[in-house]
Structure 1
Amino acid sequence: MDASLPFASSTRSISFIPPDAQSTTRPGSLTESDYLPIRNEIHPCLNCGEVFQKPGLLEQHQSIKHAVCELLDDDPGKNIVQIIFTTGWPGKTPIISRIMKIHNTPKILAQFEEYREIVKSKAARPGDSRRRDERCIADGNELLRFHCTTFLCDLGQNGNSSICVNQYCNVCEIIGSGFSPKMDGISTLSNSWRGHVAIPDDIEDEFGFMNVKRAMIVCRVIAGRIGCDTGSGDKDDPGYDSLVGRESGARQSRLEEEDELIVFNPRAVLPCFVIVYTA
């Protein structure tokens, strides 16, 4: 027997009660309004079917249990990400184990877009004495950048879409909570090779007892107005939204292909893909 039939039948019969007869309903009996909150508080997870009574609980569940999904060979996006990742590597091409798409929560996406609007509004502010930057006004000067880090779990392996709670698993921490605001700037590079060499080659050997592995995160970055780090740059300087990290500060404050871009606001960086690889 379908368990939903008594519910449907009861609801249908109540809807025909005349308005003037509502007061004669016996005490303790349910009316149609009693069922509406129950209907509205059912929030099923489309991935696994688990049901939650509040949208916040569903969002929390999805952000942990369904944080990523592996891109399979028949997914057209996998080939695109693979090309983007391998471009710029000198000599031997890295071996990719798996590519995972990050399912950012609506809250994280909203924060990213809100920050973009802040950058755009600052760039379009009338009377600004600095050079007008049309790219900032258009899209906040959004760039595609790479950030190399480490992880400890089996994220994405054998269909595992859940992030772990290990405080030393950097990839899961970034996916679940974003980049830490306590960091002294978030380092992003123009290609994955530059990101790879930013971490010492022997890190896996040094922390092998913790099963440390390397991963590359492909990010969308709202660079905004880019300043030049001359050794005395202030990350709180309202004139810049990000800084170029370079050995020489003699050049103009313009991002070049080989430069490291340091972003100070975590909302400006949206992680999109995680690539597990060896090189």
Structure 2
Amino acid sequence: MSTTLPPMHAALSVLGTMAGQYLASQAQAAQAQPAAQQPAVGTSHPVPQAAQTNNLCDVCHAKPKYFDGTKTHSSCSKTCAAKMPNRGTTNNPPQKRKSTKPAPQLCDYCHKQPKYNDGTTTHSFCGKTCAKNAKAAGIASAPAKPAKNGCLICGSPKKKGHFCSQTCHSKATKKAPVLLEVPQGHDTFGSVSDQFKASWRHQTSCPTVRRVYKVIGHPTSIAKYEAYRAQVEARGNFAATGRSPGNENRRWHGTTRECLLGDNGNSSLCSSQSCSLCGILRTSYSLSLFGKKTGWGRFGAGIYTSSTSSKSNDYSNNVKPSKLKAVLLNKVVVGRGYKMMQDNTSLTAPPPGYDSVLAEVATGGSLNYDELVCYTENAIRPSYLVMYDA
């Protein structure tokens, strides 16, 4: 005989059966899961401190990071997430970027403190004091970021010459005589440096050019030079044959440097009356000083230059200790040059009809390297100061 259970008892029976099945399935799952390995007696394996820290909220560092079933977030809750500086979902705290900003350049005057930056422009000096002292000394501000072939005052692109405009040209000439440093990488630096290396003809290795300065002469002095060049051009008509007006050429000259002009960006001429280098840069060459250093000249009382940089290096001397030597690259109006191979110490002018003397190397001659001699002060002006390894 079958016994029919009341509805209430039937429901309880079904629930009991379902509970038993659930507990049985959980027991089977527990048996399938390997037991956690326990540390051996007498040993301990603490959780690394870094692991403990990395699992905590990046904001409060007190509660575990929130796991949504797919990934672990950086914070423990929405409250902490709202407080994060960057509302991201990265698992790791943001890494501090390494600065790619270059080390600050040093002041063009004191060379000790970084140049002042006002937030938009890096100035040439560290402060008002150095800027004022530099202005009094006639030091021009160098461009912070000059173009490859840029203006030596503002760095802006230019078409020809050394300045982009009459404004920048006027700024330079108002401070004349003054030296403007030519940045490495500038076309002018490359041109001067290449000529120095190409014309080093001694057997010794050519030293490295470290700095090049453009010489800005006084307008009156430059005007006299240009007037003389025009006279020579009018007589010789050199431009018509493809040469430069007046047959102008660049030639080297070495002399004595008493100061440290040119070292470490120092562009201030010294006040010593016996510093030959600063004297030439201030007032150009003077025939009255002929023979002061050597006591004589193979081709008489003139101003001597050479196309050979290593020959001029022989005449470059430092009075003060320095890692650099100085030599001048000059503009010289050669005009019609008279070639000579033998000494003539009595000359005070080139032969009639000529503008200069070209002393050349020849078998049986007295010269080992060439010389160019001019006998007129207005035939030559210093154009560049070149600093190279001593």
Relative to the length of structure 1, the TM-score reads 0.61
Q: Taking structure 1 as reference, are residues 137 and 98 closer, same or farther at Cα in structure 2, changes over 3 Å only?
A: closer
Q: 1:269 to 1:152 in 2, by over 3 A?
A: same
Q: Say which one has the larger Rg.
A: 2
CA RMSD in angstroms, aligned pairs only: 3.7
Q: Which amino acid aligns with 2:381?
A: L
Q: TM-score, normalised by structure 2?
A: 0.45
**Does residue 69 in structure 1 map to residue 175 in structure 2?**
no
**Percent identity at matched positions?**
27
CA distance, structure 1, for counterparts of residue 140 and residue 278 of structure 2:
20
Q: Give secondary structure in 1 for the equivalent of 2:176.
A: helix
Of the three residues 248, 260, 270, the one matched with 1:142 is: 248
**Residue among 108, 112, 116 paired with 2:229:** 116
The residue number in structure 1 matching 2:82 is: none
Give the residue type in structure 1 aligned to 2:303: I
Instruction: Give the direction of change, closer, same or farther, for the CA distance of 1:227–1:134 in structure 2 (3 Å limit).
Output: farther
Alignment match, 1:194:
311
Deviation at 1:278, TM superposition (A): 2.9
Q: Residue 216 in 1 paired to residue 327 in 2?
A: yes
Structure 1: 5+ residue stretches without partners? 1-44, 49-57, 125-131
Going from structure 1 to structure 2, the CA distance change for 1:258 and 1:106 (only over 3 Å counts) comes to same
Q: Which residue is 1:241 aligned to? A: 355
Task: Specify the alignment match of 2:281 in structure 1.
Answer: 175
Distance verdict in 2 for CA 1:248–1:85, change over 3 Å? closer
Residue in structure 2 matching 1:260, options 346, 371, 383 = 371
| Contact kept? 1:120, 1:137, Cα under 8 Å | no
CA shift in 2, pair 1:226/1:165, >3 Å: same
What is the CA–CA distance in structure 2 between the aligned matches of 1:235 and 1:93, rounded to whole Å? 34
Q: How many angstroms does 1:97 deviate by?
A: 3.4
The answer for unaligned runs of 5 or more in structure 2 is: 1-137, 142-170, 291-300
The residue identity in structure 2 corresponding to 1:143 is N
**Distance in 1 between the 2:362 and 2:185 partners?**
45
State the shift of 1:180 in Å. Answer: 0.7
What does residue 152 of structure 2 align with? none
Using CA pairs below 8 Å that are at least 6 residues apart, which structure has the higher relative contact order?
A: 1
SS in 2 for 1:86: helix
1:80 aligns with 2:191: yes
Q: Which amino acid aligns with 1:195?
A: S
Answer whether contact 1:243 1:262 (CA < 8 A) is retained.
yes
Q: Which moved more, 1:240-249 or 1:163-172?
A: 240-249
Report the AA paired with residue 388 of structure 2. Y
CA contact (8 A) 2:328 2:386 kept: yes
Per-residue deviation at 1:75?
A: 2.4
- Residue 16 of structure 2: aligned partner: none
Alignment of 1:92 with 2:205, yes or no, is yes
Question: Quick check: which one's strand share is greater?
Answer: 1
Greater shift in the superposed pair: 78-87 or 241-250 = 241-250
Relative to its length, the structure with more helix (as a share) is 1
Contact 1:188 1:262 in 2 (8 A): yes
Say how many residue pairs are matched.
Answer: 207
Equivalent in the alignment of 1:36: none
C-alpha displacement of 1:268: 0.9
Q: Which residue of 2 aligns with 1:33?
A: none
Classify the secondary structure of the residue corresponding to 1:153. coil
The 1:196/1:98 distance shift into structure 2, 3 A limit, reads same
Structure 2 SS opposite 1:100? strand
For residues 247 and 91 of structure 1, the distance between their equivalents in structure 2, rounded to whole angstroms, comes to 19
Deviation at 1:263, TM superposition (A): 1.0
Taking a change above 3 Å as real, the CA distance of residues 161 and 135 of structure 1, as seen in their structure-2 partners, is: same
**1:101 is matched with which residue?**
214
Task: Read off the aligned partner of 1:196 and give its amino acid letter.
Answer: N
